[in-house]
Structure 1
Amino acid sequence: MKIKNFELEVFFTKYEFNAPYLLTQPDCQSISINELLSYRDGAKEEFLNLSLGYTEVCGAPKLRQMVSSLYTTMDESNILIHSGAQEAIFNFMNIFLNKEDHIITQYPIYQSLFEVAASIGCDTSKWMLKQNNEGWYTDIEELENLIKPNTKLIVLNSPNNPTGYTFKEEELLKIIEIATKHNIYIFCDEVYKGLEVDNIKRPWLADLYQKGISLGVMSKSYGLSGLRIGWVATKDQDILDKLTKMKHYTSIC
């Protein structure tokens, strides 16, 4: 595999921990372990008694159960824990896509959401966000016009990095209608869920679509990037099985 530099991370490597002022922080202000454990009685004692041994490849059952409670149609069997979101993106693209496949990615978007697919050899099309005096918007008809006979995946990011644009529920339902019509899967990066500018609560993509995969993480809206906990949620057990086996080659547990 030959993959291009992740230019945002190259930039952060140079400046993130050296610049006197940081106006590009992609997550919330974090807190100390002591402060985190103070939010629940008995949490500190429980934390100090945690075993530092291996956990299940799919993630500790209690953690998966807690993550599944964020969703309305999921239980712990629908959740696979990863070491942050980036591992989940990399693993999913590699188990799901082949070089003859075509994908459509919302754009602009986090680089790995299209670059990993491109490194596999996939044909990639960009579904461009548009902007007017009222802000960012999408053209759903344009999305359908990008579909090819070999289109296998639509990649979304909502709330969007870097624009902040967030799909309305009716827009998501229209996208799902198109994907269903053409038998296309949807991978939705939802790591900024909970930070919507309009403060409107929206359903997770995986709760709405049988062939939907939702990506979540503790780094962004929770401000707990040091924990390195991400996950995917989906009703597709075949994808979860393949992801679990791919994880044997990455973080393992």
Structure 2
Amino acid sequence: MPAISNKGLKMPESPIRKLVPFAEDAKKKGIKVYHLNIGQPDIRTPQVALDAIKNNDIAVLEYSRSEGSEVYREKIAAYYDSKNIKVSATDIIVTTGGSEALFFTMGTIADAGDEIIIPEPFYANYNGFATASGVNVVPVVSKIDDNFALPPIEEFEKLISPKTKAILICNPGNPTGYLYSREEILKLAEIAKKHNLFLIADEVYREFAYDGAEHYSIMQVEGLEEHAIMIDSVSKRYSMCGARIGCIVSRNKEVIASALKFAQARLSPPTFAQIASEAALDTPQSYFDEVITEYVARRNTLVSELEKIENVKVARPKGAFYCIAELPVDDADDFAQWLLEKFHLNNETIMVAPAAGFYSTKGIGKNQVRIAYVLKEEDLIKSVAVLKAALEAYKS
């Protein structure tokens, strides 16, 4: 039998999706499953985006430009200008989701065996993108006891080697919901300049900042123009996960020119999805105001309910729509599967994402889960009630 590549064997399973077969089996048994495992918002997609598709009269569905429609990129640049980020359309490459943007970025800045430093826990697919690119992830640990704040800069500097090409952060963070402060971003910018590294920021949750805090982008840092690479996406901002439209943004012309070659190799991003995404940029601020109010209420409800459970520790997110909870279990993978296979409360159970898959360091996060608060408050209350009962049953 022909052999699978080492790269294929090393590709990690998604901690977000690997339990799907168990959830489907539970549903076939008539059990209601509350999905807390995946960041699929239940917020309605802006009608203006849906109407742009519905009312379109395209006769031939053509390729777009490899870097994306010029009109769309001009509108993206105008959106960033409203956020005090000064870029032009030529600084932007439209991609098939933020995932492709990250994949192109790693291919652009790093060769096989090179290293990227990432504060962990981090978005689980960073491991997959790195494996596919032959890049080594070098983790620097942030801790739940510190609410997953940026580790001391000294911890980053200890890890920098001749192979280090970049530091990658997600801001606000997935899976932690941590929102980096302006001061923290400036510290990272200084270390990037000092050691001549790229600073990559995955900012797909930029609109989701809570408690009066403001999102501060790496693209706002003066003097970082040649170092900063921003990753963005329409998926979460407009509740358009299925559109699969993202972008790379950088003022570094060599980065953009190299990333464009990757974009040309896959031909073009999807045309209809770009049309919807372009229209979504006309979404009024009132939409976001309502969404933020809703997510803050959900976060407050979830955290409050979790804090009522004995021996459960939870970090308080300041952005995005995730939190990490530490449970009184030895193996969250086993517990999450057990929830779907063997437990229900009044014919209801929950699906969570075991957090070990969001770490690169082996053995860390084994008693943690990521919870996405993308359900209505009443469903979150029911979900935590299921979790509480499950923990009592699992221990016994």
Sort the TM-score into its range (normalised by shorter chain): 0.7 to 0.9
Structure 1, unpaired ranges of 5+: none
Distance 1:150 1:45, change over 3 A: closer
Tell me the equivalent position of 2:113.
Answer: 100
Alignment of 1:147-158 (within 5 A): 147-158=160-171
Which residue is equivalent to 1:49? 57
What are the Cα deviations for residues 145-175 of structure 1, in whole angstroms up to 9, with x where unaligned? 2211321111111111111011101100011
Aligned ranges for residues 38-117 of structure 1 at < 5 Å? Answer: 47-50=55-58, 52-71=61-80, 72-117=85-130
Contact 1:28–1:221 (CA<8 Å) still a contact in 2? Answer: no
Match in the other structure for 2:246: 230
Distance, in Å, in 1 between the alignment partners of 2:22 and 2:98 is 22
> SS of the residue aligned with 2:148?
strand
Q: Is the 8 A contact 2:118 2:168 kept in 1?
A: yes
Same amino acid, percent of matched pairs: 25
**Deviation digits for residues 201-245 of structure 1 (CA, Å, limit 9, x no counterpart):** 223223322111111111112211122111111011111111111
Distance in 1 of aligned mates of 2:207 and 2:235: 12
Counterpart residue number, 1:214: 230
Q: Name the SS for the 2:165 alignment partner.
A: strand
Q: Deviations over 1:86-131 (max 9, x none)?
A: 1111222123211232221121111222332244433331011123
Q: 1:192: how far off?
A: 1.1
1-structure distance, mates of 2:159, 2:49: 48
Gap change, CA 1:15 and 1:74, over 3 Å in 2: farther
Q: Is the 8 A contact 2:112 2:133 kept in 1?
A: yes
Distance 2:34 2:267 in 1: 33
- Structure 2: any 5+ residue segments left out of the alignment? 1-6, 270-396
- Cα distance between partner residues in 1 of 2:94 and 2:212: 27
Does the 8 Å CA contact 2:204/2:232 hold for their aligned counterparts? yes
Distance 1:115 1:24, change over 3 A: closer
Residues of 2 paired with 1:216 and 1:24: CA distance?
A: 22
Aligned partners of 2:195, 2:68: CA distance in 1, in Å?
33
For residue 168 of structure 1, what is the aligned residue in structure 2?
Answer: 181
1:24 to 1:184, Cα distance in 2 relative to 1, 3 A: same
- Provide the alpha-carbon RMSD of the alignment: 2.5
- 2:374 aligns with none
User: TM-score with structure 1 length normalisation?
Assistant: 0.86
Change (3 A) 1:181 1:84: same
Classify 1:82/1:45 alpha carbon distance in 2 versus 1 (closer, same or farther; 3 Å): closer
User: Is contact 2:123–2:175 with CA below 8 Å preserved after alignment?
Assistant: yes
Structure 1 residue 7 and structure 2 residue 14: aligned? yes
Q: TM-score, normalised by structure 2?
A: 0.57
Residue 36 of structure 1 corresponds to 48
Deviates more, 1:21-30 or 1:233-242: 21-30
Q: Deviations over 1:171-204 (max 9, x none)?
A: 0001100110000001111111111233422232
Q: Quote the Cα distance in structure 1 between the aligned partners of 2:160 and 2:199.
A: 13
Q: How many angstroms apart in 1 are the aligned matches of 2:122 and 2:52?
A: 38
Richer in helix (by share)? 2
Aligned residue for 1:128?
141
1:182 equivalent in alignment to 2:195: yes
CA distance in 1, matches of 2:97, 2:117: 24
1:11 deviation in Å? Answer: 2.2
- 1:248 corresponds to which residue? 264
Distance 1:26 1:32 in 2: 14
Offset at residue 47 of structure 1 (A): 4.3
Task: Give the conservation status (yes or no) of the 8 Å contact 1:113–1:155.
Answer: no
- What is the count of residue pairs matched by the alignment? 247
Where does structure 1 differ by over 6 angstroms across 4 or more consecutive aligned residues? none
